[in-house]
Structure 1
Amino acid sequence: MDGVGDYDDRSSCYVQLTNPQPPKADPIWRGHTDGAIYTFVCVALTHSTIGTMRWMASNPIQRGPTAAQVAQEAFSRMRLDGAAIGSAPPAGAEGLVGLPVWLWTAQTPQTWGPQSTTAAAGDFSVTVTAKVKGIAWSMGDGTTITCTKPGTPYQQSFGKADSPDCGHRYTKVGTHTITATSTWTVDWTASTGETGTIPDTTRTSTSTARIGELQVVN
């Protein structure tokens, strides 16, 4: 049985990773997007061999850490930060009721992504990639807006226009605490062909908006 994989006592079959992997649209995946397809070669009582392919969340005869465990180890070494908040008016300056406030984050691998890191174990490696899918901006006035883009930095030439992708207008005067919660999605791919995800993780950062009222002079 050389060349057909390692022997699995539980199934009495030889098991190896199917290469190449069937496309994700193949029914053999049973709707899964993680794990991998493995070939099981079993010896029947008639001494003939029967080969089947099955989806498995991980290698059923994995020796040492699984790909998912290596992915977690790689993920633990990643630096994922909250938004590097930019705003117009900037923190500390006064804005006015009814005028647009622009919001954005500086785009770096740590504040928006994507960023990737790789870890190895035995004869395989796993690459983990993280990126922000959106930022929920709690504006301190009971309003939360969710932006799926990093936002557009304000320039004076924009005048009193609204941000094209991430902004707000206050209706109350006061100093409002802005809380930006970034949600990171994390995917991994192993050199064996296995894929998976790590649960979304969030990071938070804060700023302030000081809002006054327009004074009309007669």
Structure 2
Amino acid sequence: MAKVGYIFKANSYDALDADKEWMRQYGCVQVVEEECAHEALRPQWKQLMASLGRGDELVVAKFSNAVRDLRGLAALVELCRIKVVRLVSIHDKIDTLGELFPDTTAAQVLEMFGALPEEVAVLRKSSSHIMQLQQTIKPPVTKKAMSRAEREKTIVDMYNNGYSIDDIWEVSGFNSKSSIWRVLNKYGVYLNRGRTSGPRVKKQQDETK
């Protein structure tokens, strides 16, 4: 069981250092920081979701900072329920174990749900606007690609944790889905959905009887 934190580094987010310190004081073994340039795909977030184990604790700065919409929040809550992961949101003052913020009321939780779409929209608009301004001053910075080992580990972890091939393909950076199957076959992953099941093997030449 481990505690891990997550923060999306939005350009307009000025509580980054304070939230990181809160997470460290709470005992997080790692604070995952998602770069603003990766807002659309959130590869670090997806890798973190795939890596969570039973009994772990996930700490986010704020739900509107971690997820992109109410659907994403519902998926997060469901995943944490299935994996028995304790979920803590610092600024929303929500702890699914009910210990850190005992004074939080049901009305405040419902208010958080209602305000989330607007907060997410403001955060994304602000980040996008600042990035556009930066790009007019200097050439766009090329995104740092994941190493080959990191990419293959992410593909395997996401497949084993139920992500669709489309989701995996979007994060992988590959040009074709066949590369996804190649990686899964390389690591002997049991294929339990899609057009095939069981490990893929190359077709053998006609055998002589």
Q: Report the TM-score range of the alignment, normalised by the length of the smaller protein.
A: under 0.3
TM (norm. structure 2) is 0.20
Give 1 or 2: higher strand fraction: 1
TM-score in terms of structure 1 length:
0.20
Which is greater in Rg?
Answer: 1
Structure having greater relative contact order (Cα 8 Å, sep ≥ 6)? 1
Q: Could you say which structure has the higher helix fraction?
A: 2
